[in-house]
Amino acid sequence: MPLITNGHPRSRRGSYPARYSAAGLVRRGLLHQDWPPAWQSHPVKASYDVVIIGGGVHGLAAAYYLAANHGITDVAVLDKGYVGAGGSGRNTAILRSNYLTPEGVRFYDRSVKLYERLAADLDYNVMFSQRGHLTLAHNDSSLRTMRWRAEVNKAEGVDSEVIGPAEIKRLAPFLDVTDEARYPILGALYHPPGGIIRHDAVVWGYARGAAARGVHIHQHTEVTGIDVTGGTDPRVRAVRTTQGDIATRTVLNATAGWSTLIADMAGVRLPITTYPLQAAVTEPVKPFLATVIVSGSLHVYISQTDRGELVFGASVDPFTSYSMRGSFEFIEGLAGHVLELMPALSKVRLLRQWSGLCDMTPDFSPIMGTTPVAGFLVDVGWGTYGFKAGPVSGEAMAKTIASGQPPEIIAAFALDRFTAGTLVGEKGAAAVGH
Amino acid sequence: MILLPCPWCGPRDASEFGHVGEPAPRPDPRTATPGQWRAYLYLRPNTRGWVTETWYHRMGCRRFIKVERHTDANETRQLPSGRPV
């Protein structure tokens, strides 16, 4: 059987302690055997080579690729809650790479490529469903932006095209594509490789893969301070946590929502403001929605999970906050917008709504790489697009830690771009309604 | 629901307001270094806790007001100096 190594010589599939397989599933089912824990807990050591703050998809992917691609296994991943408790478990699990700038398209395309092989790489079913992604255009200006995006995408080798109402009707028969609608559908950007994934499985798969290679995952371990020495030539020395102090020379800030609070501890200022973003899910209904539907004008994106629930997302709340409480204004506005697109859903009940924190940057692109404090690296500013970038960010940050130099694929996202004036404007493609 | 204490209209729903945010003093463009200019353009404290910030009452008196807000609890209180910016 050929090894699927994702191009990385060290990510051997056979190196896990317990392989998941169909035969194992049948055997354990018949014998009523319990599954062993997917990863072990360890006491917090007094020192680690690398400390990663944030046990979400970014932090765990970085830990996994450090161990799998670079052989660096003396790594601790710290999370003040449980793994995947933040943005990794609160996003709407949509993956795509049809961005606006060449830098963005190349970067997110690498992520989709990694996601395509992730289940085999991690020996973990992440349920990636490449069902196609439709961004609807309700006016001439969004149609122009989509044409622009499609041409950039195609130049970078990404499958992406502007399609007309007839083709939209074929892909999503229940959408009203006549010009009678309140927001008529003039066209759409169609991105066949886009789709949805089980976001918790991605987090657990990376955690299991990293832990199997020797990484320590410390949940419920909150960082309370970062020790920096050196005056004019500052360098990281230690991380203080609620489970004791850890001596280390390399810290990766892979948090979302709290990234500026962690960076402040190291004396690094980030051009980030934190906004909540709310989402909601309905009761399960029979499968009828085969693609992901996004409408910028209506500030909504809709997909149907494998269980039949409809997942709705929106734009960020209109003011900065660290609060993760849902609001009635949001749910009222969301319902109105969804019913504009799909009036047939008027009798479907919402199951729940929730909120996650989005670290917005001035140009809607992330901030990755080194900082003025030696040994303090950042993988932050993930706004409303962090989940889809998890694998490529982990891979690139692992390479940055191993070589001390950010690789080409993230060079455009460096912190110093805000001083140099080389912003990577992704506002037109990063999210809806900004 | 968040109520903002407008000095002219009384407590009103936050959805009537536009969020302007924390004040950022503008440095002199003739003498500012690129670093200072970047700080003015992009760097905000992003405080978790009490902040003093500006809101615009776009669906009410259409004036700018200054309010204290806790960015985690979203509790608000009126500044003693009350009136506007």
Sheet strands side by side (includes A250-253): A216-218, A75-78, A50-53, A250-253, A376-380, A367-370
Nearest to A320 among B21, B43, B73 (CB): B21
Looking at residue A434, its pLDDT comes to 40
Looking at residue A117, its pLDDT comes to 96
Asked if A158 contacts A109 with a C-beta cutoff of 8 angstroms, the reply is: yes
Nearest to B48 among A261, A269, A325 (CB): A261
CA pair distance A56, A75, nearest whole angstrom: 15
Please give the torsion angle defined by the CA atoms of residues A384, A310, A143 and A409, in that order, rounded to the nearest 10 degrees.
Answer: 40
- The residue in chain A having the minimum alpha-carbon distance to the alpha carbon of residue B47 is A261
Looking at residue A3, its pLDDT comes to 39
Residue A321, chain B, CB below 8 Å: the answer is yes
- The residue in chain A having the minimum alpha-carbon distance to the alpha carbon of residue B36 is A419
Nearest-CA distance A164 → chain B (Å): 36
Structure tokens at B48: 């978790």
Hey, is A383 helix, strand or coil?
Answer: coil
CA pair distance A84, B54, nearest whole angstrom: 34
Chain A and chain B share a number of CB contacts under 8 A equal to 51
Residue A23, chain B, CB below 8 Å: the answer is no
Structure tokens at A315: 């734009």
Containing A53, the helix (H) or strand (E) segment is strand A50-53
ipTM, two decimals: 0.92
Nearest to B38 among A320, A328, A418 (CB): A418
Q: pLDDT band for B83, please (50, 70, 90 cuts).
A: low
CA pair distance A152, A149, nearest whole angstrom: 5
Nearest-CA distance B81 → chain A (Å): 23
Q: In residues, how long is chain B?
A: 85
Looking at residue A5, its pLDDT comes to 40
Nearest-CA distance B21 → chain A (Å): 8
Neighbours of A366 (CB within 10 A): 28
Q: What is the pLDDT along chain A (434 residues), one digit of tens a residue?
A: 343 444 444 444 444 556 788 888 898 889 988 888 889 899 999 999 999 999 999 999 999 999 999 999 999 999 999 999 999 999 999 999 999 999 899 999 999 999 999 999 999 999 999 999 999 999 999 999 999 999 999 999 999 999 999 999 999 998 888 888 889 999 999 999 999 999 999 999 999 999 999 999 999 999 999 999 988 899 999 999 999 999 999 999 999 999 999 999 999 999 999 999 999 999 999 999 999 999 988 889 999 999 999 999 988 999 999 999 888 889 999 999 999 888 889 999 999 999 999 999 999 999 999 999 999 999 999 999 999 999 999 999 999 999 999 999 999 999 999 988 888 877 666 655 44
CB contact under 8 A, B48 and A329: no
Contacts 24+ apart (CB under 8 A), A233-239: A233/A374, A234/A267, A234/A372, A234/A373, A234/A374, A235/A373, A235/A374, A235/A375, A236/A266, A236/A373, A236/A374, A236/A375, A236/A376, A239/A51, A239/A53, A239/A78
- CATH number of the domain within which B3 lies: 3.30.2270.10
CA pair distance A385, A394, nearest whole angstrom: 15
CB contact under 8 A, A260 and B35: no
Hey, is A47 helix, strand or coil?
Answer: strand
Domain with B72 in it: 1-23+43-85
For A61, B6, B7, B61, B66, the CA distances from B83, given in Å and listed in that order, are 50, 8, 6, 12, 7
CA pair distance A191, A132, nearest whole angstrom: 6
- The residue in chain B having the minimum alpha-carbon distance to the alpha carbon of residue A320 is B71
Chain A partners within 8 Å of B1 (Cβ): 327-329
Chain A partners within 8 Å of B14 (Cβ): 319
Handedness of CA A358, A361, A364, A366 (dihedral sign): negative
Residue B77 lies in a domain: yes
What pLDDT, in 10s, does the model give residues B18-60? 999 988 889 999 999 988 988 999 999 999 999 999 999 999 9
Neighbours of A332 (CB within 10 A): 10
Residue B31, chain A, CB below 8 Å: the answer is no
Residue A362, chain B, CB below 8 Å: the answer is yes
Asked if A123 contacts A281 with a C-beta cutoff of 8 angstroms, the reply is: no
For A82, A273, A278, B4, B51, the CA distances from B70, given in Å and listed in that order, are 26, 15, 19, 12, 6
CA pair distance B83, B85, nearest whole angstrom: 7
CB contact under 8 A, A320 and B71: yes
Containing B52, the helix (H) or strand (E) segment is strand B50-56
Residue B11 lies in a domain: yes
Residue B6 lies in a domain: yes
Hey, is A122 helix, strand or coil?
Answer: helix
- The residue in chain B having the minimum alpha-carbon distance to the alpha carbon of residue A333 is B15
Domains and CATH numbers, chain A: 42-124+199-272+363-430 (3.50.50.60), 133-192+276-358 (3.30.9.10)
Residue A323, chain B, CB below 8 Å: the answer is yes
CB contact under 8 A, A318 and B18: yes
For A38, A93, A130, A201, A332, the CA distances from A197, given in Å and listed in that order, are 20, 6, 8, 8, 27
With vertex at residue A246, the alpha carbon angle to CA A245 and CA A249, rounded to the nearest 5 degrees, is 140
Asked if A276 contacts A355 with a C-beta cutoff of 8 angstroms, the reply is: yes
Chain A partners within 8 Å of B39 (Cβ): 269
Residue B72 lies in a domain: yes
Domain count, chain B: 1
Looking at residue A24, its pLDDT comes to 85
Structure tokens at A54: 């944030």
Residue B84 lies in a domain: yes
Residue B65 lies in a domain: yes
Neighbours of A164 (CB within 10 A): 12
Any idea what DSSP says for residue A142? Answer: H
Q: In residues, how long is chain A?
A: 434
Looking at residue A12, its pLDDT comes to 44
CA pair distance A156, A140, nearest whole angstrom: 25
Residue B32 lies in a domain: no
Query: Residue A116, Cα to own-chain centre: how many angstroms?
Result: 15
Cross-strand partners of A273 = A360
Q: Which of A258, A259, A262, A319 to mutate to test the interface with B (most CBs of B within 10 A)?
A: A319
CA pair distance A94, A196, nearest whole angstrom: 5
Asked if A427 contacts A365 with a C-beta cutoff of 8 angstroms, the reply is: no
